[in-house]
Structure 1
Amino acid sequence: MKNFATHIVFLLLNICLINYSYAANSTEKNISTDQQLADIIQTHEAFYLKSSPFNQPKIAGNNAKLPDLSEEFLLAQYQQGLAIYQQLIALDNEKLTQENQINFSVLSYSLKNQLDSYTNNEHYMPLTAESGFHVWIANISKQVEFKTFADYQDYLVRLSLLPAYFSQQIYWMKKGLQAGISQPKVVLEGFEQSIAAYIKEDVTESSYYQPFSKMSVFIKPSQKEELRQQAKQVLSAKVMPAYKAYYDFMVNEYQPNARDNIAASSLTNGKEYYQNRLEHYTTLPMTAMQVHQQGLAEVKRIRAEMEAIIAQVNFSGSFSEFVEFLRKDPQFYASTPTELLKEASFIAKKMDAKLPSLFKTLPRTPYGVMAVPDNIAPKYTTGRYAGSARDDQPGNYWVNTYRLDRRPLYVLTALTLHEAVPGHHLQISLAKEMKDVAKFRNRTYISAFGEGWGLYSEYLGIEAGMYEDPYHNFGRLTYEMWRACRLVVDTGMHTQGWSRARAMEFLASNTALSLHNVKTEIDRYISWPGQALSYKIGELTIKRLRKEAEQTLGEHFDLREFHDQLLKHGSMPLSMLDKLITQYINDKSNGVTKL
């Protein structure tokens, strides 16, 4: 303990010396604020690259390593990040160029979240209701382009390290149980099934074995057989035991001792923690009550539009009866997974053709449509975008084909526009393809911006003519209502004492979501406090900015140009987006006035 305390003091002293030295050098050399920021960005990039072997896959040996999750390493990471953050926020943001103001905004936001995540002990809970580290780490084969014998050897070494990696994660989860920081017991029901899905008696059926099923043409036949035998041995001796140990821990120790209260505010310093997560995911200085009230107002507005559609289709029953009709009538459901995927693909391709009328700049990265992996599908959300791990891979729009009777077709258009185009795939790909920007900007995803854009993309489907009948438009409104309800139930459960049952009832009674989807979504919000707020808050901001542009610019408003202005700088906090778009409106307005 004494050595650990000495280590902390030593690190803090180093931070002070670094900051003092940096400030002194900046003053002596009279370095401009922009140059100071450039130096900090360079320091941060080096810090980022060294923080995980996943961040530098082209460095020799890194593909044979896994991240270090030891106490010493995480503490050192925190202290180094803190030193960079302190240097950053000491700058006078107003003296920076516009581009560097964006850099400042995005980097300070990202660094603050990394620091907050550590001080909030989020590493004690490396899982949510729908997924966890055992799923995330299974994607390591996608990080590498397998070409040489050494590529496969490195991968085998990495696999042999999985038991140690799992042990570190379990260590933190045990610390969490001791501190009362765990996922709530109720959202963990059935979670062990997602772990069991990775445990294979025949290891060649494991997803970890896939790189050895179809091997590089540059590998000799004799080497292929050698590598396959090694893979079977490592999977049997290392990987499967790691998953079995985690399964046993989950069932015998974690689930029985997990907390009973679902509210984030029930944790130590829970009210402060939830407010921190709220501000992180909305990027705005709002209170939980303000978000809650805004949600209720949106629910009321959207409900009126939904009632109008019910009247339009001449349905004689009540709102709840109409929703029940949508949930049960076979006409609204695919009969096979292939049918559902084909329908999603058709919608996506149809929207592709509409993009030039809405955007001047389109990404070059393609995307595919695929099913959510079977091992996580039962507790997974209805769909999601999975970006490419490398630049030689496409993005993927995942569609959940589990329980087809709970995957209505009337919401599929809205889902596709949100996850694929013009939603996440388009926005994230454009950000990755930005040229001449700091590298961290290409990889940064800010939820309020990205999810706000995704929900706004559903709205764009109206202008693109994508909702061909009242039922599909009702599906769009159901999805918008879903996001409005999130503002109510997330804040309700985490700050106002709402029960899980009350939240489920509120979401079920105001939307046409399947009851299975309602359950998985509420459990997601319980296990991921604040994230669900980002969608509606972001969308409302984008819609407000568009309205201001339309009203100010009148006939000179160009929707394609406006969308380019929204997306050209990548993901950013909403306050920065507001500043940029307001400046764009003013500049264009002045230019128009001079004509």
Structure 2
Amino acid sequence: MDGKWIFSCTLFVFSSHFYITTSAELNAVTSEDDKLHQLEETLFHITKREYPEFSTLVGDHQFDDKLESYSKESIDRRVKIYTELLRAVNNLNFKALTRPRRRDADILKSYLQTYIDGYKWKDYGALSPMTPLSNMLIQPVWVPAGNYLNMDDYEKYLSRLAGIPDQIQDVKKLMQDAVDRGTTLYKTSLAEFSQESIDNLIAIYSFPIRDVVDFTDLTDAEKVDVQNRSHVHLENMRRAYKDLSHFIEKVYRPSTRKTEGLYGLKDGTEYYHACLMYHLGYRVTAEEIHAVGLREVELIHGKMKEIMRQLDFEGDLTSFYAYLRSREPNRTADDILEAYGSIISERINPTLPQIFRRVTIPNVRIQGVDKPGLMAYYGYNTFFINVQNPEEQQSHTMLAIAMHETNPGHHFQLNYITNEKIPEYRRKLKNYHLYSVPSREPTYTAYSEGWALYAEYLGEELGLYEDPHEQFGRLTMEMFRACRLVVDTGIHAFGMNHSQAIEYMKKYTDISYTHIETEINRYITWPGQSCAYKMGELKMRALRKKAEEVLGSRFDRKDFHHRVLAAGPMPLDFLDDIIDEWLEEEYEEQSDLNKASSILYNDAAFLLFLFICFFYLI
């Protein structure tokens, strides 16, 4: 039998294999904690089997000959599998679980339920896997992660190449379904195809054949065989990509939806709220988020004006931004990368022991990106910085950006959990295919992005923002995230158009027009995702305030940060439980200390009484 599956008395057809697991297999495990562990392991195995390229990426090569299916049948299959797995989790004896594991079981249930609930929206974004932010033309990062040592490895790779044309046909069928149903993307959310992009993609797939094969154990005859067969597969892929490109330009693009926001689709407002629920992890309406955004913009604007007064600047926010730009030196891309490296190693890292229990975190790589895209982002232990237009980099925002993306932000957050007992399915989240939200597995956006924005705030406590200009830079980044709340909800729920969104961002932020356009297109393409940053940070700030009020002088920010980070990615409502549990432990510990002190006090008083009596007797 290929694989072990933990489902209670259930038969599954999974790909071309049958997996049978009876309740006896779970009952053979001695404890409920161990049963839960098996179910968590099963979920991670499912993830790797359903998404073989992801399996390669995380270092598991048992599915290196397989490709993810983009068929509608695969979406149906996954929801059936997750439904049965959820049934198995519900059959656990929760009372027999330890408290931390009971929470893990609840998170597992929430994870599965998220996909099951999102299945309702499978005929929306999931039908259009060709956005600029996530599509088959983006570099397949799994290619360099594969094994290329012997002929068996290359047979698996050739099998993958042979299957890509069918995979592309499945994508085409999905997109035709979106056209037929009237659930297409907006025009700016559709990836641009070009002959150059196809050539670049073919070059990436050629890498194991062209650059690696001479360093393997293959014989000369095997090398020739691999090269000849791969040439056939690559040409078939090229034709399939061209066919998809033709379909997109002639059929799909003319059918793109007319409104930027989801409100223009059938049930679009409900769909948008499902996207918000997916990214935030708790129920909140677009109206509530919009109101929070307007309030935060006003609050941050007030803080900005206070700094402008400190600097004796007379003028509005736009003119102050112009003043800051006038102070920028002429710098090259290398200058910017070097400056970021210095900020991280010389300014941020030495302060981390003040606020964290442990700071043994691997160094982050810094890499420039010389093409249109996001200003900065993090992935695979690498801090990516857009250096296409070095003159657009703002010195006063660099510290805040570095803290968000590296330490104590994303890089620190992801590496902090290395030694924690967190299930693999949460430790190694599949953070792509965001076009299909909410019809996909959770990524816990508000937890990860909320922490990273909170990390920017920690720079204030550490005294890292050394002058009013850097303090203003932090507020600039915070304003950017607050504006997202207004614009994201405005676009998808309240009819704000592309031009209005750009004007709003220009009014309150200092982002270049090019980057604003990129951002607005991102909000249109990933509904609700940008709301997770500020809403997540506000949640973490609220939890910290609660802990400070309960513990008073006994509050230790190191302990608070450890509780938040060590728990790993999760829905934010579970983070409430973790902090409450910590506060209960602190209360009980203090109660025990008070009891002990009371006993000692009473004993001392009794001894004093005996001493006084003895003194008078003599």
TM-score, normalising length from structure 2?
A: 0.82
Which residue identity lines up with residue 381 of structure 1 in the other structure? Answer: L
TM alignment of 1:44-55, pairs within 5 A: 44-54=43-53
Distance 1:263 1:87, change over 3 A: farther
User: Which of 405, 408, 414 lines up with 2:394 in the alignment?
Assistant: 408
Shift of 1:434: 3.8
Distance 2:406 2:562 in 1: 17
Query: Which residue of structure 1 lines up, in the alignment, with residue 3 of structure 2?
Result: none
Distance 1:311 1:439, change over 3 A: same
Q: What residue in structure 1 maps to residue 368 of structure 2?
A: 371
Give me the whole-angstrom Cα distance separating, in 1, the residues matched to 2:341 and 2:195: 31
Stretch deviating more after TM superposition (570-579 or 146-155): 146-155
Deviations for 1:364-402, whole angstroms, at most 9, x for unmatched residues? 544211123x5xx32x21111113xxxxxxx11111122
Counterpart-to-counterpart distance in 2, 1:269 and 1:453: 32
Q: Counterpart of 1:286 in structure 2: which amino acid?
A: V
* Matching residue of 1:418: 404
Bigger Cα displacement from structure 2, 567-576 vs 357-366:
357-366
For the residue of structure 1 that corresponds to 2:365, the secondary structure is strand
* Equivalent runs, 1:260-299 vs 2, <5 Å: 260-299=258-297
SS in 2 for 1:536: helix
Name 2:608's counterpart in structure 1: none
What does 1:173-572 correspond to in 2, within 5 Å?
173-188=175-190, 191-192=191-192, 196-200=195-199, 206-211=203-208, 212-213=210-211, 217-219=215-217, 222=220, 226=224, 229-230=227-228, 233-234=231-232, 236-326=234-324, 328-329=325-326, 331-332=327-328, 335-350=331-346, 351-362=348-359, 364-372=361-369, 374=370, 377-378=371-372, 380-387=373-380, 395-431=381-417, 433-444=418-429, 445-572=443-570
CA distance in 2, matches of 1:48, 1:456: 30
Secondary structure class of the residue paired with 1:161:
helix
Deviation at residue 590 of structure 1 after TM alignment: 3.6
With 225-234 and 577-586 compared, the bigger mean Cα shift is at: 225-234
Amino acid paired to 1:425: H
Amino acid at match of 2:365: G
Q: CA deviation at 1:438?
A: 2.7
Find the aligned partners of 1:23 and 1:60 in 2 and give their Cα distance. 27
Q: Which amino acid aligns with 2:400?
A: A
- Listed as ranges, the gaps of 5+ residues in structure 1 are 1-12, 16-20, 388-394
- CA contact under 8 A between 1:384 and 1:419: conserved in structure 2? yes
CA distance in 1, matches of 2:245, 2:118: 26
Question: 1 CA distance for matches of 2:96 and 2:360?
Answer: 33
CA contact (8 A) 1:478 1:511 kept: yes
Cα deviation, residue 50, structure 1:
2.7
1:231, distance to aligned residue in structure 2 (A): 8.1
CA distance in 1, matches of 2:514, 2:200: 31
Equivalent-residue separation in structure 2 for 1:227 and 1:362 (angstroms) = 50
CA distance in 2 between counterparts of 1:337 and 1:86 reads 54
User: What is the deviation of 1:271?
Assistant: 1.8
- Map Cα deviations across residues 480-512 of structure 1 (whole Å, 9 max, x no partner): 111111111111111111112222211221112
**Contiguous gaps of at least 5 residues in structure 2:** 1-9, 13-19, 430-442, 594-618
| Paired residues of 2:137 and 2:201 also in contact (CA < 8 A) | no
When residues 368 and 202 of structure 1 are mapped into structure 2, their CA distance, relative to the original with a 3 A threshold, is closer
- The 1-side partners of 2:25 and 2:265 are apart by 43
1:113 maps to which residue?
Answer: 114
Deviation of residue 161 (structure 1)? 2.5
SS at match of 1:384: strand
Contact 1:196 1:247 in 2 (8 A): no
1:411–1:475 Cα contact (<8 Å) kept:
yes
Q: Name the structure 1 match of 2:82.
A: 81
SS at match of 2:505: helix
The residue type equivalent to 2:337 in the other structure is L
Flag the 1:516–1:92 CA change in 2: closer, same or farther, 3 A: farther
Shift of 1:38: 4.5
TM-score (norm 1): 0.85
Letter in 1 for 2:375: T
Task: Give the secondary-structure state (helix, strand or coil) at the position aligned to 1:139.
Answer: coil
Q: Distance in 2 between matches of 1:346 and 1:224?
A: 49
Indicate the RMSD between aligned Cα atoms, in angstroms. Answer: 3.2
Q: Give the 3-state SS of the residue equivalent to 2:377 in structure 1.
A: strand
Within the alignment, does 1:164 sit opposite 2:170 as a pair? Answer: no
- Give the whole-Å Cα distance in 1 for the aligned partners of 2:173 and 2:360: 42
- Give the deviation of 1:146 after TM superposition: 3.4
- In structure 2, how many angstroms separate the alpha carbons of the residues matched to 1:27 and 1:429? 33
Is residue 381–residue 520 contact of structure 1 (8 Å, CA) maintained in 2? yes
Q: What is the CA-CA distance between 1:172 and the residue it aligns to? A: 0.7
Per-residue deviation, 1:469 = 2.8
Tell me the distance in 1 between the aligned counterparts of 2:80 and 2:298: 47
Q: Distance in 1 between matches of 2:391 and 2:117?
A: 41
Distance 1:196 1:464 in 2: 50
TM-fit CA distance, 1:152: 3.9
Q: Is the 8 A contact 1:180 1:259 kept in 2?
A: yes
Aligned-residue offset at 1:28: 10
Change (3 A) 1:216 1:439: farther
1:582 aligns with 2:580: yes
Alpha carbons of structure 1 residues 255 and 336: separation in structure 2 relative to 1, 3 Å? farther
For residues 202 and 108 of structure 1, what CA distance do their matches in structure 2 show?
38
What is the identity, as a one-letter code, of the residue corresponding to 1:265?
Y
Letter aligned with residue 289 of structure 1: E
Secondary structure of 1:353's partner? Answer: helix
CA distance in 1, matches of 2:352, 2:462: 9
Determine if the alignment matches structure 1 residue 123 to structure 2 residue 126.
yes
What amino acid is aligned across from residue 371 of structure 1 in structure 2?
G
For residues 320 and 187 of structure 1, the distance between their equivalents in structure 2, rounded to whole angstroms, comes to 29
Q: Cα distance, 1:98 vs. partner? A: 2.4
Q: 1:577 to 1:333 in 2, by over 3 A?
A: farther
Local SS of the residue matching 1:332:
coil
In the alignment, residue 358 of structure 1 is paired with which amino acid? I
| Aligned-pair CA distance for 1:300 | 1.1
Structure 1 residue 116 displacement after superposition: 3.6
Cα displacement string for residues 182-227 of structure 1 (whole angstroms, at most 9, x for unaligned residues): 2101444xx415x554333896xx2333444356744468479638
Deviations 1:55-93 (A, max 9, x none): 544777621221122233332222111222344457686
Take 1:35 and 1:478, find their aligned partners in 2: how far apart are those partners? 48
- TM-aligned CA deviation for residue 305 of structure 1: 0.8
> 1:258 offset after TM fit, Å?
0.7
- Residue 469 to residue 131, structure 1, CA distance change in 2 (3 Å): farther
1:359–1:560 Cα contact (<8 Å) kept: yes
Provide the rounded CA distance (Å) in 2 between the counterparts of 1:308 and 1:405: 27
Q: Give the CA deviation at 1:449.
A: 0.5
Q: CA deviation at 1:532?
A: 1.0
Comparing 576-585 and 53-62, the one that deviates more: 53-62
- One-letter amino acid matched to 1:417: M
Distance across 1 between alignment mates of 2:31 and 2:151? 49
Within 5 A, what are the aligned runs for 1:66-77? 66-77=67-78
